[in-house]
Structure 1
Amino acid sequence: MNKLNRDQIAKRVARDIPEGAYVNLGIGLPTLVANHLPVEREVLLHTENGLLGMGPAPAKGEEDWELINAGKQPVTALPGAAFFHHADSFAMMRGGHLDICVLGAFQVSVQGDLANWHTGAQDAIPAVGGAMDLASGAKDVFVMMELLTKKGDSKLVRSCSYPLTGIRCVSRIYTDVAVFDIRGDGVHAYDLVDGLSFDELQHLCDVPLHHA
């Protein structure tokens, strides 16, 4: 099968973000979405460290290290961008003012539960950041992740074994092999990559799927 690379997953997410949306991109893989939004589409990107109107990553050599996102990566600011205290930024997140947040994940359950801040390992450093606020405050929660772990286990699971970030909050999952919508009647899979059948995807996931 022809798995999508990280930029191709980000481009697929960007395709579904509508005109005029207020969007937060989580640290890690989701930050790539900013580089694939069509220039003719107005999307207001928000970062929890206090910027609304974030643009794509700067060209190499043109970084301004006083202008960064929540993951400490250099970003650009579009005309009309606004800067503010991070307390105000969290008020936007908690107050339901974001249309979409895009987050990475260790696991997502078939009910839409999200685990993305801690693996439960004793030597892991807890770093929940604003993930809980985003998961509970955004109108839609999109997840970007590779479907399988390095050990070959599905990150789409019947029940999360890692500590939860949010309960029944995820509405859509973008992976390197397919897109999944979490609905009231279960998980619907579509946009399978070339060379992957629905039955093969069902076997990879080991959770009940509907063929959308």
Structure 2
Amino acid sequence: MSQEARIKIAKRVAEELSDGDIVNLGVGIPTLIPDYLGDKKVHLQSENGLLGMGPTPDEKDINMDLISASKHPISMEPGASLFDSSDSFVMIRGGHIDVAVMGALQVDQYGEIANWAIPGKNILGVGGAMDLVAGAKKIIIASMHQAKDGTPKLVEKLTFPTSGNGRANILVTEHAVFKFSDQGTELVEQLSDLSLEQLKEITGAPFTYQGALV
């Protein structure tokens, strides 16, 4: 997974965020987003107890008492607030998060998410995934198009355990932006020079483009 591809995804996800949004950022690629918001005034929430997370601090300004849920050093915006993680989950479960940006192991053609367990491998814990899937008003998946073994992340049907009933609205990969509905997956933007046929070959679910099935 190249850093260039990760940054490309983070920048594109940042375009989906609007001024005033309260946004929870998951581990992995989503943690890069604070550095690419530009002049947008969004309120970044970290589930370990912070509202008002800022961009990555300079090395000389790192304070390891200020870390994200991913254990990365962070800064705080003016007016930021710190609170107990239980209060953070009250925000999440109470429906006060406008957008959750998270990674995924798989996403099915209708936006159902699997992002907490791989069958046969050790499970460290669910984390906040299930709460966010259930509580966030909008879910954006920021993920590489394929897993490390070359299998597609976007699949026709999940083979990993689901993260809950909530569905992703948007998937952003290094190659494309997809939107989900009850009708299935729609390709809304190509982000690389792959042809539609090449994109289809590395995608595990059917999708439409400009109203036609690819």
Alignment correspondent of 2:36 = 36
Distance in structure 2 (CA, Å) of the matches to 1:144 and 1:194? 16
Alignment correspondent of 1:5 = 5
> 1:7 is paired with a residue of what secondary structure?
helix
> 1:24 is paired with a residue of what secondary structure?
strand
Q: CA deviation at 1:113?
A: 1.0
Alignment correspondent of 1:202 = 200
Distance in structure 2 (CA, Å) of the matches to 1:8 and 1:205? 19
Distance in structure 1 (CA, Å) of the matches to 2:140 and 2:86? 24
Q: In structure 2, do the counterparts of structure 1 residues 84 and 168 end up closer, same or farther at CA, with 3 Å as the change threshold? A: closer
Distance in structure 1 (CA, Å) of the matches to 2:168 and 2:4? 21
> 2:190 is paired with a residue of what secondary structure?
coil
Alignment correspondent of 2:116 = 117
Alignment correspondent of 2:21 = 21
Deviations 1:125-164 (A, max 9, x none): 3321111101110000100111112222111011111111
Q: In structure 2, do the counterparts of structure 1 residues 103 and 92 end up closer, same or farther at CA, with 3 Å as the change threshold? A: same
TM alignment of 1:72-111, pairs within 5 A: 72-111=71-110
What is the letter of the counterpart of residue 17 of structure 1?
Answer: L
Q: CA deviation at 1:198?
A: 1.6
TM-score (ref. length: structure 1): 0.93
Alignment correspondent of 1:126 = 124
4+ runs of 1 displaced by more than 3 Å?
Answer: none
Distance in structure 2 (CA, Å) of the matches to 1:153 and 1:33? 25
Alignment correspondent of 2:56 = 57
Q: CA deviation at 1:168?
A: 4.5
Distance in structure 1 (CA, Å) of the matches to 2:156 and 2:192? 26
Alignment correspondent of 2:45 = 46
Q: CA deviation at 1:77?
A: 0.4
Q: State the aligned residue count.
A: 208
Q: CA deviation at 1:28?
A: 1.4
Distance in structure 1 (CA, Å) of the matches to 2:6 and 2:192? 16
Aligned partners of 1:198 and 1:211 also within 8 Å: no
Q: CA deviation at 1:79?
A: 0.2
Matching residue within 175, 178, 185 for 1:177: 175
Distance in structure 2 (CA, Å) of the matches to 1:211 and 1:114? 22
What is the letter of the counterpart of residue 31 of structure 1?
Answer: T
| Percent identity for Structure 1 against Structure 2 | 40
Q: CA deviation at 1:176?
A: 0.9
Confirm whether residue 135 of structure 1 aligns to residue 133 of structure 2. Answer: yes
Q: In structure 2, do the counterparts of structure 1 residues 194 and 156 end up closer, same or farther at CA, with 3 Å as the change threshold? A: closer
Q: CA deviation at 1:19?
A: 0.8
Aligned partners of 1:4 and 1:177 also within 8 Å: no
Give 5+ residue unaligned stretches, structure 1: none
> 2:198 is paired with a residue of what secondary structure?
helix
Give 5+ residue unaligned stretches, structure 2: none
Aligned partners of 2:134 and 2:166 also within 8 Å: no
> 2:17 is paired with a residue of what secondary structure?
coil
What is the letter of the counterpart of residue 180 of structure 1?
Answer: F
TM-score (ref. length: structure 2): 0.93
